[in-house]
Structure 1
Amino acid sequence: MTATESQTEVQPAERPVDAPVSLIPAALPLQPEDPPRVGEFWLRGRLGANAAGYLYTASDERGRNAVVAMMTEGSADDAAARDRFVFAVDSLPEDVVLAHNDEDDDDLALWAAFGPIREDDGSSAATDERLLAERRGEDVLSAVLMDRVPQPGRRRGPDFLHYWEGRRRPGLFRIWPLPWPTALRPASWAAIWYALATMLLLMALSLLLAWLLFKDSPPLNPPPVIPTPTNTVTTTITPTTPPPDSTGPGTPTTPDPSGSLPTGTPGEPSPSSTNPGDKF
C-alpha cells in the first residue's frame, strides 16, 4: 500500500447534502438580573450584548421560537436612543417582527421579538432562520448605538462615547402574569413537590408530639368556662360552712327577728343587757 492510498483511506467521508452548514451557537445562561419573561416570550438564554442592549433566545407558550432584542437601562433612559430603536424596528418587514412592547412605556425598556424560527431539526433552514433573526436583532441594537454610521472625513479628536454606555444592566421590565409556575422545568417541579411533602411530614410530626405530650395531663380545676350560645355564663357558687356560735358547739345562729343591726363597739355590753331604768 502506497502513501497516497493510506492518505485516501483516512480522509473523512463527504458531508451529506442536507447537513447543516454551521452549527447554531449555544446561548449563555440567563443572569439574575435578566428578566425571565418579556411580553408573551419566555427567555431561555443570552445570545449577545453590547452597550445598547441584549439579545436573548426565547419561545412562547405556543411553541414559537424567536430572538428578543432588549435595551439596557442606560439606553432606555435616553429618548433619542429609544427613537432609534423604534425606527429600526419599524423599518423591518412586519412578518419578521413577532411582537414588541409599546413605545409609550417610558418607565420600561423597549424590546422586540424577531422570527419566525423553526425547531432545530438539524437542517440548514433552521440554522439560517436563527442566524437571520440574530442579525436583525444586532442591526437594531447597532442602530441604537450608532456604531455603523459612516464617518465623513478623517477622524480627529477623542472617540465618540454615549453618556449611558456605563449602565449596561438590562432595562426595567414588567412581568405579568408572574413567571411561577409556568416557566418551571421538571426538576423544579420535583423540588416543589418534595418541599410540600416535607412540610406535611413536619406538620404531622408536630401534631403527634403535641398529642403525646398532653394526652395524660390532668383536667383543669376549675374547668374552663364555656359560654352558651346566648353568650351567657353560668357560675355556681358553693356556700361555705359558717363558724360555730359562742352559745355552744353545733348550735345554729338565730337571726334577730327585728332585723336591726347591732351597734356599738366590740367589747361593750349591748343596750338590751342594761337596766331599762338607766335610760332616764
Structure 2
Amino acid sequence: MTATESQTEVQPAEPPVDAPASLIPAALPLQPEDPPRVGEFWLRGRLGANAAGYLYTASDERGRNAVVAMMTEGSADDAAARDRFVFAVDALPEDVVLAHNDEDDDDLALWAAFGPIREDDGSSAASDERLLAERRGEDVLSAVLMDRIPQHGRLRGPDFRHYWENRRRPGLFRIWPLPWPTALRPASWAAIWYALATMLLLMALALLLAWFLFKDSPPLDPPPVIPTPSRTVTTTITPTTPPPGTDGPPSTPVTPDPSGSIPLTPGTSGPPSPTDPGDKF
C-alpha cells in the first residue's frame, strides 16, 4: 500500500445551515379561574406555575407575542412579595418588558409581559425568543418566592416557607372593556350566527304552524266573559215589556204597597225567583 493510498480524502466542509428549532413546551389550556385578558394581552395558555405566580403565553391585538408573568392571590397580598416582583421587573432591560400594570394597584395582582417573540416559523430563532422570555418570567417569579437565594451556613430547623404559599389561585384582575366578543375567533362568530339563524327559523315555523291550526277555528258561542279589573261582570238584560209610547200592550203601573212588600206582577204568584236578574239591581 503506497503512501498515496493510505491518505484519506478530505471532503470540503458544507456551509452551515440553520439548526433545527428547539422543542417549545406546549402550553396547557386556561382554567376557569384564569383571566382571559390582562392589560392589552389576551392569554392563550399556561406555561408554568409556582406559589408566587403563573406564566402564560399571550398576544395582543397588534400581533405581538409575549410571555406574561402574573402573581397569585397569596403573593399579591404580601407587600414584600410585591416589592420583590417590581424590583425584579425593573432590573430587566427596558426593551424586553413589553408592558406591566401599575404597582400602586393594591387591589390587583401585579403582572408583566416579556418579549418580543416572533411568530413560530419553524426556525431556532423563534423558539429561542420564546424560551428566553419564559426564562425571564421564571426569574421574576423566583425572585418573589426567594427560592434561588444561596444558603449560608448549615441547615438547621424547619425549612422556610411563605405563609401565603397555599393561596395559589391567580390574583385579582380587572378587565374593561369586557372580553366578549372581542376575543372570539372566526369559527366562534360563525357558530353564534348559525345559532341565531336557527332560533329565528324555529320561531317563524312555530308561528306558521299556530296560524294554520287556528285560522279556521269557529268563534266561541257564547263568547267568554272577561271580568273587569274590579272582578265584576256586567250583564245586559233585554226588557220584555216595551216602554210607553211604543206599539204593544200597555204597561201596567205598579202601585207601591204600604207594607213594604214587593207587589206581584199580574199573572204571577209567589215571590220572584232567586235567579231573576232583577234581584241583582
- TM-score class, shorter-chain normalisation, is 0.7 to 0.9
Report the TM-score when normalising by structure 2.
Answer: 0.74
Contact kept? 2:66, 2:114, Cα under 8 Å? yes
Per-residue displacement from partner, 1:170-224 (whole Å, max 9, x unpaired)?
1111112222122122332232122112210121122113322332244578999
Contact kept? 1:245, 1:252, Cα under 8 Å? no
Per-residue displacement from partner, 1:136-190 (whole Å, max 9, x unpaired)?
1001000100001122111111001111111111111111222212212233223
> 1:27, CA displacement in angstroms?
1.0
Report the TM-score when normalising by structure 1.
Answer: 0.74
In the aligned structure 1, how far is the partner of 2:175 from the partner of 2:76?
17
Q: Percent identity?
A: 92
In the aligned structure 1, how far is the partner of 2:42 from the partner of 2:235?
67
The aligned residue for residue 95 of structure 2 is 95
Matched, 1:175 2:175: yes
Deviates more, 1:212-221 or 1:95-104: 212-221
> 1:15, CA displacement in angstroms?
11
Per-residue displacement from partner, 1:42-66 (whole Å, max 9, x unpaired)?
1111111100000000000000000
Per-residue displacement from partner, 1:62-106 (whole Å, max 9, x unpaired)?
000000000011111111111111111111111111011111111
Contact kept? 1:245, 1:253, Cα under 8 Å? no
CA distance 1:108–1:19, change in 2 (3 Å):
same
CA distance 1:222–1:252, change in 2 (3 Å):
farther
Contact kept? 1:245, 1:251, Cα under 8 Å? no
Deviates more, 1:86-95 or 1:228-237: 228-237
Contact kept? 1:52, 1:75, Cα under 8 Å? yes
In the aligned structure 2, how far is the partner of 1:134 from the partner of 1:153?
32
CA distance 1:276–1:17, change in 2 (3 Å):
closer
Deviates more, 1:137-146 or 1:99-108: 99-108
The aligned residue for residue 276 of structure 1 is 277
RMSD: 8.9
Could you tell me which runs of 5 or more consecutive residues in structure 2 were left unpaired when the two chains were aligned. Answer: none
Could you tell me which runs of 5 or more consecutive residues in structure 1 were left unpaired when the two chains were aligned. Answer: none
Alignment size in residue pairs: 277
Contact kept? 2:45, 2:56, Cα under 8 Å? yes
In the aligned structure 2, how far is the partner of 1:235 from the partner of 1:50?
81
In the aligned structure 1, how far is the partner of 2:208 from the partner of 2:38?
47
Deviates more, 1:32-41 or 1:232-241: 232-241
CA distance 1:261–1:46, change in 2 (3 Å):
closer
Contact kept? 2:243, 2:251, Cα under 8 Å? no
CA distance 1:225–1:246, change in 2 (3 Å):
closer
CA distance 1:224–1:40, change in 2 (3 Å):
farther
Secondary structure class of the residue paired with 2:126? helix
